[in-house]
């Protein structure tokens, strides 16, 4: 049955005004209300508010009686002041995140296919281990090869040295021997040449000596007579008696002669001197008597000779 | 080479950080840390291509400092490390350029390091520039030869003598000036065969120049050499024939050799035939030395007379010989024997 919806503004159940002003009147169920107001609404007269005010009401209760509301329906309904309140709450979850947009999955098309992997399909040990083994073995071999090569390098260096020494020892003694041989032969040759030269020189010397001797002999052949002649000429061959007379006798003789002559001369000189002295003395006597006396005592010879010389100087 | 100290090696970083990190550890003060780092370095650098990684300037300077460390184990390990480095050519060149020789020469007196130092020096002598640098060590080596003690092991002595041989080969004149022949002569009659062999090799190097030959004859070395010739060992015979071959160039040497009755021995060595190819190839230098010695001795009248008796044997051996060099040497000998003025 379609109920007529009243205007919410004119619904008596909606309380208007302050909550503390009047107690609530009995709420009239909407069914009752509608049924009550079903017929009159078709014949409504006047505005609604007026109609409500002028509506016929139940007469007042007789004294001692009270009107009581009674339910006369078939089913009793519990009436209470307190309306049946059922509280239901509805609350959205606090801070519920917006769920993510589901990934768009295209609708599946095509055929389904299945597959299964068995042992040995993905991983084969024998195959996989090969490169690892190769690397391991290769690296080990490489290292060992390098070590061996290093040792060989050192050994090769030493072998090279030894080979060089051998070659050197092969050639060197031969060279030394030949050098020594050459030296010996050269020395021998030089010795022999020196000997030869010496022999030649000696021979030459001998020849020269012989020639010189011949020449000298030739030259000296007539040397002796000429020498003797010149010696005789020089007076080296002398008569000893004559020489003796000449060297010893004659000088003595001459000396004696000379001394005698000298004596004569001297005597004459003395005489001359004396004469002059007397002459001078008579001239100088007045002033220098004492001096001449003293001089006279020391010796007539010196004063007279002095005087003599002085006088000679004067006179000449 | 076994590790002398029982320290396990230090952990090694991967790749190119291995050597630098270990080098850092070498700078730390603790002895054990250094030993372990050195052991690890030896292992790392012994791997084939990793040796030259360590050839940076700083690292080598560090090693030089460590060579003068107080602890002998550290010094020995550093010597081992240098020995490993010297296995490469660039390593040897770097060691020579960084002038490691003076500190190494100090270590020659150090008992634990001596053997390694000798091995290292013999590796360095593989280069001609190395040999020239080794000549700077010659005075020290001669002094060591002079004051040699008898308690040293044979191996070290052999190494020492082979090192001397390298030096003598490079510059025999300098060695002769320091009286090398007189100092080396006692070694020839020493007990062990190895030492005699090595001494004979050194003497051979010394007798190359004329002065050396004269000294060898003067110092009466040849009797000991002739005794060495009688030994069965091939190398001993080789070295002895070498000395005789060089010394017999001088007249005095020739006469001494004849006097010592060396000629029959040389003849036997020269004409001894072996069927085995390898044996013949190995004996080739010995045969050549002997024949050259015979040639020298054939220049004396007495030698020529003795060899003229053996002329058929010489001719026969020369014809049977396949090697061209030996044939040529035999022909020279025959020429000298049949020489008439």
Rounded to an integer, the average pLDDT of A225-237 is: 85
Q: Is A169 within 8 Å of B329 when comparing Cβ atoms?
A: no
Q: How confident is the model at residue A314 (pLDDT cuts 50, 70, 90)?
A: very low
CATH class of the B1-137 domain in this structure: mainly alpha
Name every chain B residue with its beta carbon within 8 A of the beta carbon of A158.
126
B33 and B71 in contact (C-beta within 8 Å)?
no
Dihedral angle of Cα A234, A240, A241, A246, to the nearest 10 degrees: 50
Q: How far is CA A53 from the centre of its chain?
A: 126
Higher pLDDT, B156 or A250: A250
Checking if the pLDDT of A313 tops 50, the result is no
In terms of Cα–Cα distance, which of B180, B195, B303 is closest to B244? B303
Q: Is B246 within 8 Å of A176 when comparing Cβ atoms?
A: yes
pLDDT tens for B90-118 read 888 888 888 888 888 888 877 778 888 88
Name every chain A residue with its beta carbon within 8 A of the beta carbon of B126.
154, 157-158, 161
pLDDT tens for A208-220 read 999 999 998 888 8
Q: DSSP readout, B266-332?
A: HHHHHH-----HHHHHHHHHHHHHHHHHHHHHTTSHHHHHHHHHTHHHHHHHHHH---HHHHHHHHH
Q: Is A174 within 8 Å of B123 when comparing Cβ atoms?
A: no
What residue of A is the nearest CA neighbor of B290? Answer: A170
Question: Rounded to whole angstroms, how far apart are CA atoms B107 and B166?
Answer: 19
Q: What pLDDT is attached to residue B1?
A: 38
pLDDT tens for B2-20 read 444 566 778 888 877 888 8
Which residues, 6 or more positions from B113, have their beta carbon under 8 angstroms from its beta carbon?
A: B72, B75, B76, B79, B107
DSSP code of A164?
A: H
- For chain A, what is the largest distance between any 2 Cα atoms, rounded to a whole number of angstroms? 254
Half-sphere exposure of A189 (CA within 13 A, CB side): 7
B72 and B113 in contact (C-beta within 8 Å)?
yes
Long-range contacts, B9-15 (Cβ 8 Å, 24+): B9/B36, B9/B39, B9/B40, B9/B42, B9/B43, B10/B36, B10/B37, B10/B39, B10/B40, B11/B40, B12/B40, B12/B43, B12/B44
Question: Rounded to whole angstroms, how far apart are CA atoms A189 and A191?
Answer: 5
What residue of B is the nearest CA neighbor of A167? Answer: B285
Checking if the pLDDT of A23 tops 70, the result is no
Q: How confident is the model at residue A263 (pLDDT cuts 50, 70, 90)?
A: very high
Residue B251, chain A, CB below 8 Å: the answer is: yes
Name every chain A residue with its beta carbon within 8 A of the beta carbon of B167.
none
Q: What sign does the CA torsion over B174, B176, B182, B188 have?
A: positive
Q: How confident is the model at residue A316 (pLDDT cuts 50, 70, 90)?
A: very low
Domains B1-137 and B156-260 share a fold: yes
Measure Cα distances from A13 to A21, A38, A52, A220, A313 in Å: 16, 17, 15, 207, 216
What residue of A is the nearest CA neighbor of B85? Answer: A150
Q: What pLDDT is attached to residue B92?
A: 86
Name every chain B residue with its beta carbon within 8 A of the beta carbon of A173.
245-246, 249, 292, 296
The helix or strand, by DSSP H or E, that contains position A155, with its residue range, turns out to be helix A125-221
pLDDT tens for A278-292 read 988 888 887 777 676
For chain A, count helices (H), then strands (E): 9, 0
B292 and A173 in contact (C-beta within 8 Å)?
yes
CATH architecture entry for B156-260: Alpha Horseshoe (1.25)
Q: How confident is the model at residue A187 (pLDDT cuts 50, 70, 90)?
A: very high
Of the given ranges (A38-47, B104-113, B151-160), which has the lowest mean pLDDT? A38-47
Q: Best of B292, B293, B295, B337 to disrupt the A interface by mutation (most A CBs within 10 Å)?
A: B292
Q: Is A184 within 8 Å of B289 when comparing Cβ atoms?
A: no
Higher pLDDT, B284 or A211: A211
Checking if the pLDDT of A61 tops 50, the result is yes
Q: Is A173 within 8 Å of B88 when comparing Cβ atoms?
A: no
Q: Which two tokens stand for residue A307?
A: 């005087």
**pTM of whole model > 0.95?**
no
Share of chain B above pLDDT 70, in %: 96
Measure Cα distances from B196 to A201, B158, B226 in Å: 56, 9, 12
The angle, 0 to 180 degrees and rounded to 10, between the axes of the packed helices B111-124 and B154-170 is: 40
pLDDT tens for B234-253 read 888 889 988 888 888 888 88
Which one of A146, A157, A170 has the shortest CB-CB distance to B49? A146
- Mean pLDDT of all residues belonging to chain A: 80
pLDDT tens for B37-49 read 888 888 888 887 7
Domain edges within chain B = 1-137, 156-260, 262-341
B138 and B146 in contact (C-beta within 8 Å)?
no
What residue of B is the nearest CA neighbor of A173? Answer: B246
What residue of A is the nearest CA neighbor of B296? Answer: A177
Q: Which two tokens stand for residue A55?
A: 């509506």
Q: Best of B48, B208, B283, B329 to disrupt the A interface by mutation (most A CBs within 10 Å)?
A: B48
Q: How confident is the model at residue A42 (pLDDT cuts 50, 70, 90)?
A: low
Q: Which two tokens stand for residue A114?
A: 């299945």
Name every chain B residue with its beta carbon within 8 A of the beta carbon of A149.
48
Checking if the pLDDT of A198 tops 70, the result is yes
pLDDT tens for A82-118 read 777 788 888 877 787 788 888 888 888 888 889 998 8
Q: What pLDDT is attached to residue B3?
A: 45
Q: Which two tokens stand for residue B167?
A: 């030096």
Question: Rounded to whole angstroms, how far apart are CA atoms A238 and A123?
Answer: 158
Q: What sign does the CA torsion over A289, A293, A294, A299 have?
A: positive
Q: Which residues of A touch B (CB under 8 A)?
A: 143, 146-147, 149-150, 154, 157-158, 161, 165-166, 169-170, 172-174, 176-177, 179-181, 184
Dihedral angle of Cα B248, B250, B254, B260, to the nearest 10 degrees: -70
3-state helix, strand, coil in chain A (%, to 5): 65, 0, 35
Name every chain A residue with its beta carbon within 8 A of the beta carbon of B288.
169-170
């Amino acid at each position: 049955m379609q109920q007529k919806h009243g205007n919410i503004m004119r619904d008596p159940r909606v309380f208007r005004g302050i909550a503390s002003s009047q107690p609530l009147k009995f709420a009239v169920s909407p069914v009752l209300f509608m049924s009550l107001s079903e017929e009159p609404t078709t014949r409504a007269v006047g505005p609604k508010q007026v109609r409500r005010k002028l509506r016929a009401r139940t007469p007042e209760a007789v004294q001692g009686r009270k009107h009581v509301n009674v339910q006369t329906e078939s089913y009793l309904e519990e009436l209470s002041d307190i309306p049946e309140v059922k509280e239901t709450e509805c609350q959205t979850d606090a801070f519920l995140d917006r769920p993510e947009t589901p990934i768009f999955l295209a609708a599946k098309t095509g055929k389904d296919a299945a597959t299964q992997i068995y042992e040995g399909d993905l991983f084969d040990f024998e195959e996989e281990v090969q490169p690892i083994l190769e690397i391991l073995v290769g690296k080990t071999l490489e290292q060992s090869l390098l070590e061996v090569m290093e040792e060989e390098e050192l050994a090769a260096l030493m072998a090279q040295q030894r080979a060089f020494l051998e070659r050197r020892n092969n050639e060197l003694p031969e060279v030394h021997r030949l050098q020594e041989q050459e030296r010996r032969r050269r020395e021998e040759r030089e010795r022999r040449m020196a000997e030869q030269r010496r022999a030649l020189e000696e021979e030459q010397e001998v020849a020269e000596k012989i020639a010189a001797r011949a020449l000298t002999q030739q030259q000296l052949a007539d040397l002796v007579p000429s020498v003797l002649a010149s010696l005789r000429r020089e007076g080296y061959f002398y008569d000893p008696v004559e020489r003796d007379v000449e060297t010893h006798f004659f000088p003595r003789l001459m000396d004696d002669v000379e001394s005698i002559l000298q004596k004569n001369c001297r005597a004459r000189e003395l005489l001359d001197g004396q004469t002059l002295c007397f002459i001078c003395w008579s001239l100088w006597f007045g002033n220098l008597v004492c001096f001449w006396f003293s001089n006279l005592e020391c010796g007539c010879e010196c004063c007279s000779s002095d005087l003599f010389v002085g006088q000679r100087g004067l006179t000449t | 080479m076994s590790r002398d100290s029982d320290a396990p090696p230090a952990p090694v970083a991967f790749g190119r950080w291995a050597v630098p990190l270990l080098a850092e550890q070498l700078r730390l003060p603790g002895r054990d840390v250094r030993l372990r780092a050195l052991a690890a370095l030896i292992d790392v650098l012994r791997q084939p291509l990793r040796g030259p990684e360590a050839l940076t300037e700083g690292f080598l300077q560090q090693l030089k400092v460590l060579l003068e460390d107080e602890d002998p184990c550290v010094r020995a390990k550093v010597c081992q490390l240098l020995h490993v480095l010297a296995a490469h050519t660039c390593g040897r060149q770097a060691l020579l350029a960084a002038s490691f020789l003076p500190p190494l020469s100090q270590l020659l007196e150090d008992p634990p390091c001596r053997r390694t130092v000798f091995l290292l020096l013999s590796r360095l002598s593989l280069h001609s520039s190395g040999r020239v640098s080794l000549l700077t060590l010659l005075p020290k080596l001669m002094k060591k030869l002079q004051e040699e003690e008898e308690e040293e092991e044979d191996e070290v002595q052999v190494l020492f003598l082979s090192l001397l041989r390298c030096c003598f080969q490079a510059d025999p004149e300098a060695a002769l000036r320091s009286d090398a022949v007189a100092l080396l002569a006692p070694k020839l009659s020493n007990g062990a065969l190895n030492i005699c062999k090595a001494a004979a090799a050194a003497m051979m190097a010394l007798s190359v120049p004329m002065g050396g030959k004269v000294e060898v004859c003067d110092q009466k070395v040849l009797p000991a050499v002739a005794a060495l010739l009688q030994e069965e060992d091939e190398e001993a015979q080789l070295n002895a024939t070498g000395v005789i071959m060089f010394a017999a160039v001088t007249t005095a040497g020739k006469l001494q050799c004849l006097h010592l009755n060396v000629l029959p021995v040389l003849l036997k060595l020269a004409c001894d035939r072996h069927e085995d190819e390898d044996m013949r190839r190995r004996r080739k230098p010995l045969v050549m030395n002997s024949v050259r010695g015979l040639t020298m001795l054939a220049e004396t009248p007495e030698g020529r007379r003795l060899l003229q008796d053996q002329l058929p044997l010489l001719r026969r051996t020369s014809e049977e010989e396949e090697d061209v060099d030996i044939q040529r040497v035999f022909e020279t000998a025959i020429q000298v024997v049949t020489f008439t003025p």
